[in-house]
Amino acid sequence: MSTEVAELQVFNETIEKVLGFITAYKLYIRMKMRGIVVEEQIQWILLYVQERSVDIWKENILKDLEKELLEYETAGEFLADIKKEFGGGDEETVKVAELKRIEQEEKTIKKFVQEFRRAARSSRYEGRPLIEEFKRDMNGMICQRLIKSE
């Protein structure tokens, strides 16, 4: 029985997308590319790395691999390098960026709170700074009502 997988996306170097890219490719390699030589796995991943400024990075990586100046024992190590290069830092940094990007806009308060909590989990924001960020992201009318009720 063959397992169906979603279509893989081309690499997008925005902070919010790097972790999703890495996770998707790790899963795909585990599911569909077991037993394939690491160099071929990395070359396969590089086929999907083709957006904007990453082309220069990709060309440099390919040259270093060809000259054997760079070597990876696993495709996971290579994906970790992508995370270091384009991930904007650790998961905390990514979560803070995501937290600052969230706005309630037309979302229900329930949906907004769920999205905010998910982003806040690993951001290390807590206490007053987290509350202030929540109020900043919240729909203006709802926020005004909360302020008046305090």
104 and 63 in a single domain? The answer is no
The answer to whether residues 99 and 107 touch, using CB atoms and an 8 Å cutoff, is no
26 and 57 in a single domain? The answer is yes
Task: Please indicate, yes or no, whether the overall pTM of this predicted structure exceeds 0.95.
Answer: no
State the average pLDDT over residues 100-122.
81
Taking only the tens place, the pLDDT of each residue in 2-22 is: 566 567 777 766 656 777 888
CA-nearest of 60, 58, 23 to 44 is: 58
Higher pLDDT, 101 or 33: 33
Alpha-carbon Rg for the chain, nearest whole angstrom, is 20
- Domain enclosing residue 128, as ranges: 91-149
Question: Is 4 part of a structural domain of the chain?
Answer: no
34 and 66 in a single domain? The answer is yes
Question: Is 99 part of a structural domain of the chain?
Answer: yes
Taking only the tens place, the pLDDT of each residue in 73-108 is: 899 888 888 887 777 556 666 677 777 777 888 888
100 and 66 in a single domain? The answer is no
Higher pLDDT, 86 or 127: 127
Q: What percent of the chain has pLDDT over 90?
A: 6
77 and 97 in a single domain? The answer is no
Specify the pLDDT at position 36: 92
HEC letters along the chain: CCCCCCCCCCCCCCHHHHHHHHHHHHHHHHHHCCCCCHHHHHHHHHHCCCCCCHHHHHHHHHHHHHCCCCCCCCHHHHHHHHHHHHCCCCHHHHHHHHHHHCCCCCCCHHHHHHHHHHHHCCCCCCHHHHHHHHHHHCCHHHHHHHHHHC
Higher pLDDT, 63 or 119: 63
72 and 127 in a single domain? The answer is no
82 and 120 in a single domain? The answer is no
80 and 96 in a single domain? The answer is no
Taking only the tens place, the pLDDT of each residue in 42-55 is: 989 988 887 766 77
CA quadruple 19, 21, 26, 28: dihedral sign: positive
CA-nearest of 18, 67, 76 to 42 is: 76
Helices 127-137/109-120 angle, 10° precision: 140
Specify the pLDDT at position 2: 59
Number of independent structural domains in the chain: 2
Specify the pLDDT at position 90: 60
What single-letter amino acid sits at 102?
I
Question: Is 3 part of a structural domain of the chain?
Answer: no
